[in-house]
């Protein structure tokens, strides 16, 4: 299975592009998983679009919008995960879900369950 959550602390991993390579990064424990090829991201996309099947969403615009989140503003089903922990490292982990269509950002905290 493709990793989406950190195996160590179960934090949502953020896809990141570093020097042309793709990674999934955990902002809490800095777990970093390199995606060997771009296809890895595409395969995430495929898994996601399977889940979305039948809803009629077309993947358009933001190619980082791979996270399943229904936009409160326009109803689009994909959002980009923006990890604000990079900028506010001392704060509690902060994640923004940015709508892949209209850019509406929804703020979510770390899931502590
Ligand atoms: Zn972690
Ligand atoms: Zn939207």
Map out the domains of the chain as residue ranges.
14-109
pLDDT over 90 percentage in the chain:
31
Q: What is the mean pLDDT of residues 85-104?
A: 76
Query: Could you tell me which residues come within 8 angstroms of residue 104 by beta carbon, excluding any fewer than 6 positions away?
Result: 71, 72, 73, 74, 98
Per-residue pLDDT of 21-66, as tens digits, reads: 888 899 999 999 887 765 555 555 665 655 555 444 554 567 888 9
Residues with Cβ within 5 Å of ion ligand 1? 6, 8-9, 11, 26, 28-29, 31
Tell me how crowded residue 113 is: count the other CB atoms within 10 A of its CB. 4
Residue 89 pLDDT: 53
Residue 73 pLDDT: 95
Q: Which one of the ligands is nearest to 33 CA?
A: 1
Residue 90 pLDDT: 56
Overall pTM surpassing 0.75 (yes/no) = no
Q: Is the pLDDT of residue 1 over 50?
A: no
Query: Could you tell me which residues come within 8 angstroms of residue 22 by beta carbon, excluding any fewer than 6 positions away?
Result: 15, 16, 34, 35, 38, 40, 41
Ligand 1 mean position to 43 CA, how many Å? 22
C-alpha neighbours within 13 Å on the C-beta side of residue 53: 4
């Amino acid at each position: 299975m493709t990793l989406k959550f950190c195996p160590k602390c179960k934090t949502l991993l953020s896809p990141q592009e570093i020097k042309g390579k793709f990674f999934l990064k955990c902002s809490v424990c800095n777990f970093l998983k390199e995606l060997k090829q771009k296809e890895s991201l595409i395969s995430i996309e495929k898994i996601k679009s399977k889940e979305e099947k039948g809803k009629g969403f077309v993947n358009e615009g933001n190619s980082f919008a791979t996270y399943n989140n229904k936009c409160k503003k326009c109803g689009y089903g994909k959002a980009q995960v923006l990890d604000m922990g990079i900028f506010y490292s001392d704060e509690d982990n902060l994640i923004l879900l940015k709508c892949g269509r209209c850019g509406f950002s929804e703020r979510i905290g770390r899931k502590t369950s």
